[in-house]
Structure 1
Amino acid sequence: MNKILITGASGQLGKSVIKHLLNKVEAKNLAVLVRNEEKASDLKPLGIDVRIGDYTNYESLLTAFKGIDKLYFISGSDFEGRSKQHENVVNAAKEVGVKHVVYTSFMRKDESSASPISFVVADHIETEIWLQESGMNYTFLRHNLYMDMLPLFMGENVLKTGVIYQPAGNGKVAFTLREDMAEVASHILTSKGHENKTYDITSDKAYSYNDIASILTDITGKTIAYSSPSVEEFNKTMTEAGVPEMYISLFAGFAQAMEQGELDHCNSVMEQLIGRKATSMADYLREVYS
């Protein structure tokens, strides 16, 4: 049996993937990479092999990846220095003889520096090239935007204010639930025929903020409207509200990508892989807001 290692095992995606994998393989065939052993205290008693390592520490990765056949490589969350971290992961996996790397990439249409989300996408493009050139088998799971990020984009007071305030125009996103992505990953990691393939992991329907406001109104009985300011007005309003600059540029970048149709790609890949449709927007919003 292949030994599978999950990186980022203390994060939400990593935890979900492990949960789904435990329904398919024995715990002794799983290893996890964490920076802090305490964060994996719930995994050791299950019989999972806990390994300590850090994307910034090449030697730790060489040790952690020894004896691993398949690596589930969750992309780093720090935009600063992420490229070098990813290069370390790819080189260490290659050096110790990992056979197959399943990488969580990001979906995109525009790969140029003009894209409003180039700050997110650039490292993913680079990492995919390194993996293709490494000689290892790879699978790219190009994730669309997490549905789970919607409460953050809409603001925690959306039901009080009754307004979704984002500079996204009438653009749409095929928002996709992180839990669904985890289930897809566990299938890819435990089945054959995914070598050197790329999958766009996205929903089968795209939604505008007008659509989302309408669904929220139906679910909560409170009238929710959508207001789309200019990016300049959005930045000014958010700055005055004390939102950190890093978040403002992140929100604005994704909103502009949404307006430009960067993230509206839909498909039925999820249904083909795991035999069910992606979680719908209404089901997700009902769970969070009702």
Structure 2
Amino acid sequence: MILVTGATGHLGSSVVHHLHHLVQKNEFSVLARNPEKAQSLIDQGIEVRMGDFNDIETLIQAFKGVEKLLLISTMEMNRFEQHQNVIDAAKIAGVKHVVYTGLAIQDIERSGVKDLMISHFQTEAYLQKSGLDYTLVRNSMYADAIPVILGQSIFKDGILLPGGDGKVPYALREEMGEGLARLLVQEGHNNKIYHFTGSKAYSYQDIARELSELTQANMHYQNIEDDTFEKLLNDINMPEFLVYLTKGTLYDIKHHQYEIQSQDLETILGRKTKDLHGMLKVLYPI
């Protein structure tokens, strides 16, 4: 029995979609905190188990009979404590194998979002010491984040970001979801670390060039200063946490933190991930 946490989120719902095509419905279940959000899964005949990451007793009950658990990382400020609860509950309930989704980055100690993202590596260390079999899947940035970071005015103002010439090996969330689903149903991934990245890395200049070709517009990328970018974010009344997260992410891109080359995702998928042209056609209604 496989159990997927975060099944009502973007990545989790993609994993569930692909599991549907790989195994029978009685071979996997999902964890949900809110039964209303999980109603569509219930309607599909998928077993939904109730559990709260902040309540270990509910997790112990939900994990009974589970052999392999996919722990999709949360975005809560107490993320590490929540993940500890999941891992502790998994041990008590007799789970054999935990797959964890973390972050593919060069050096977390130099990250602009270290305070938030270091919990990924704390979770990894805790899981490795737990005695459970584990698989650590470190995800690159989702291509789906490109339109969010570029903003709504790019076709009028161009791309104004402090990303330097840094590159990111983007992959679509749908591709990562499929990769995780395939990994869950396969054997031989115990106690291994994988980097789920796209087959090729791209800069914002590459994105501007490709969008220009797709739209027949003269799209350009301007590498602006960090302070100018922060002012732009504040001018649109972006919440403080999102300013921190966006600025820190761009800082990491500029300093080449995401430039990790790996064929792990394409190996598990059995094909290369979509190239930049293919990703942008999915992301923009062009």
Instruction: Report what 2:85 is aligned to.
Output: 88
Q: Secondary structure of the equivalent of 2:80? A: helix
1:274 aligns with 2:260: no
Cα offset for 1:40? 1.5
Instruction: Report what 2:70 is aligned to.
Output: 72
C-alpha distance in 2 between matches for 1:71 and 1:263: 27
C-alpha distance in 2 between matches for 1:213 and 1:234: 18
Whether the 8 Å contact between 2:103 and 2:139 is mirrored in structure 1 is: yes
Instruction: Report what 1:176 is aligned to.
Output: 171
Return the match for 1:188 from 183, 189, 199: 183
Instruction: Report what 1:207 is aligned to.
Output: 202
Whether the 8 Å contact between 1:16 and 1:182 is mirrored in structure 2 is: yes
Return the match for 1:16 from 14, 38, 46: 14
The code of the aligned residue for 2:189 comes to H
1:57 aligns with 2:52: no
C-alpha distance in 1 between matches for 2:261 and 2:277: 17
Instruction: Report what 1:221 is aligned to.
Output: 216
Give the alignment's TM-score, normalised by structure 1: 0.95
Instruction: Report what 2:97 is aligned to.
Output: 100
Whether the 8 Å contact between 1:139 and 1:198 is mirrored in structure 2 is: yes
Q: Secondary structure of the equivalent of 2:129? A: helix
- Hey, which bits of structure 1, 4+ residues long, moved more than 6 A? none
Instruction: Report what 1:46 is aligned to.
Output: 44
Matches within 5 A, 1:244-255: 244-255=239-250
Cα offset for 1:146? 0.6
Give CA-to-partner distance per residue, 1:197-216, whole Å, 9 cap, x none. Answer: 00000011111101100000
C-alpha distance in 1 between matches for 2:55 and 2:89: 10
Q: Secondary structure of the equivalent of 2:256? A: coil
Return the match for 1:159 from 155, 160, 175: 155
C-alpha distance in 2 between matches for 1:274 and 1:211: 25
Instruction: Report what 1:149 is aligned to.
Output: 145
Matches within 5 A, 1:278-289: 278-289=273-284
Whether the 8 Å contact between 1:168 and 1:255 is mirrored in structure 2 is: yes
Instruction: Report what 1:115 is aligned to.
Output: 111
The code of the aligned residue for 2:16 comes to I
Give CA-to-partner distance per residue, 1:37-91, whole Å, 9 cap, x none. Answer: 111212223332111111111111111111110001000122x111111111111
C-alpha distance in 2 between matches for 1:82 and 1:165: 32
C-alpha distance in 2 between matches for 1:11 and 1:174: 22
The code of the aligned residue for 1:96 comes to A
Whether the 8 Å contact between 2:11 and 2:177 is mirrored in structure 1 is: yes
Cα offset for 1:271? 2.3
Whether the 8 Å contact between 2:163 and 2:254 is mirrored in structure 1 is: yes
Cα offset for 1:157? 2.5
Q: Secondary structure of the equivalent of 1:211? A: helix
Whether the 8 Å contact between 2:144 and 2:173 is mirrored in structure 1 is: yes
Whether the 8 Å contact between 1:29 and 1:48 is mirrored in structure 2 is: no
Query: What count of residue pairs does the alignment treat as equivalent?
Result: 285
Give the unaligned 5+ runs of structure 1: none
Q: Secondary structure of the equivalent of 1:279? A: coil
Whether the 8 Å contact between 2:195 and 2:265 is mirrored in structure 1 is: no
Identity %: 39
The code of the aligned residue for 1:127 comes to T
Cα offset for 1:249? 1.5
Instruction: Report what 1:137 is aligned to.
Output: 133
C-alpha distance in 1 between matches for 2:95 and 2:230: 45
